[in-house]
Amino acid sequence: MAAEPKPAPLVPFHGEKPPAPAWFDEAIAVQPERSSHQGAGVTIETLAWGERGKPGLLMLHGGSAHADWWSYLAPFFAKTHRVVASSWSGMGGSDWRDAYSMDLLCAEMLSTLDATGLDEGPVKPVVVSHSFGSFPAMAFAARFGERIGGLITVDSPFLSNEMRAKREIDRPPSRPPRDTVLYDSFVDALARFRLMPAQAAENLYIVDYIARHSLREVAKPDGSSGWTWRFDPFMWSRLKRNDSSVDLAGAKCRLAITWGSDSVLFPDEIKAFVRATAPKGTMFIEIPKARHHVLIDQPLALVTLIRSVIAGWDAAAP
């Protein structure tokens, strides 16, 4: 078992990039098409790989993250699929809102399917979602599941409202959201990057890549330049949630529920609840030696998992 996570894993590098394996450098060298479109009244950022007309694959990131969390994985699918990663409103390069809801996030997904050609292929597009991204994705599956060929969720604990309320009571109180935090330099900001929830991470070249794409340059009050995060700090207090267990039970497409074997968000009671709640025929897959941030801990295993699930669904299609 790895050591407990340090408060800020990139501090020792002083702004330099950690060494990375060849497969990673080759993947990020495949540059996506970067574009945007209007989705439910705001501008939505999208990254795309692969040709229109191929089977669609939509990749959705977690909370306070952005589409580039998928930039080193999406190229593995670009020869066989039209792959799109989008940033939710309030995150990445997408616009912020005065209020957020699952209705609006579902509408963003619909707009992305239409704008990026994901449903122009010979089969319905598949959706892959990590962490928070799976909650609007599952709401979409319950409402518009006929639009997609299946949903693969990655370490997303679907809870009833009562279960979530209980966990929030047991959780230490969090500080109220703060306005935009500014750092004097890019290196200062990079050194402050942390994973949420906190965990050890051996693949620091991935953490560094994600962190570099998590920042934006802004003007400070005195007119000088500063750096801050690319997410709305008030999103969570302005978000109207669904009962995710109801959405899970009502999904109208094929499902594969996956989680990291060492994830703090998937204790045995959550695994049992999800298994009991999901529709008949749902696949359940545990990813060995992975914590919550499976995309960082086991990136190539996740690629293999996604390929295998899609191949299994294709083989079972009439």
- Express each pLDDT in 244-278 by its tens digit: 999 999 999 999 999 999 999 999 999 999 999 99
Instruction: Assign 178 a pLDDT band (cuts: 50, 70, 90).
Output: low
- Per-residue model confidence (pLDDT) at position 263: 97
- Per-residue model confidence (pLDDT) at position 317: 80
Digit-coded pLDDT (tens) for 47-87: 999 999 999 999 999 999 999 999 999 999 999 999 999 99
Question: What token pair was written down for 159?
Answer: 């809870």
Digit-coded pLDDT (tens) for 179-215: 678 999 999 999 999 999 999 999 999 999 999 999 9
pLDDT beyond 60 at 170: no
- Per-residue model confidence (pLDDT) at position 168: 63
92 torsion bin: left (phi>0), alpha (psi -120 to 50), beta (else): left
Cis peptide, bond prior to residue 221, ω within 30 of zero: no
- Per-residue model confidence (pLDDT) at position 3: 47
pLDDT beyond 60 at 110: yes
pLDDT beyond 80 at 172: no
pLDDT beyond 70 at 177: no
**What percent of the chain is predicted at pLDDT more than 70?**
94
Instruction: Assign 2 a pLDDT band (cuts: 50, 70, 90).
Output: very low
- For the chain, list the domains and their CATH numbers: 35-181+232-316 (3.40.50.1820)
pLDDT beyond 60 at 123: yes
Structure-token match 């009962």, residue found? 243
Q: At what angle do helices 102-116 and 134-144 cross, to 10 degrees?
A: 80
Digit-coded pLDDT (tens) for 301-311: 999 999 999 99
CA distance 193 to 229: 9
pLDDT beyond 60 at 93: yes
What is the average pLDDT across 135-160?
97
What is the average pLDDT across 2-28?
86
Question: What token pair was written down for 227?
Answer: 């750096």
What is the average pLDDT across 126-143?
98
Instruction: Assign 161 a pLDDT band (cuts: 50, 70, 90).
Output: confident
What is the average pLDDT across 6-26?
93
> Which residues have C-beta within 8 Å of that of residue 131, sequence separation ≥ 6?
61, 62, 63, 65, 154, 155, 156, 292
CA distance 72 to 70: 6
pLDDT beyond 50 at 33: yes
- Nearest of 144, 74, 126 to residue 317 by alpha carbon: 126
Spatial contact of 40 and 115, defined as CB atoms under 8 Å apart: no
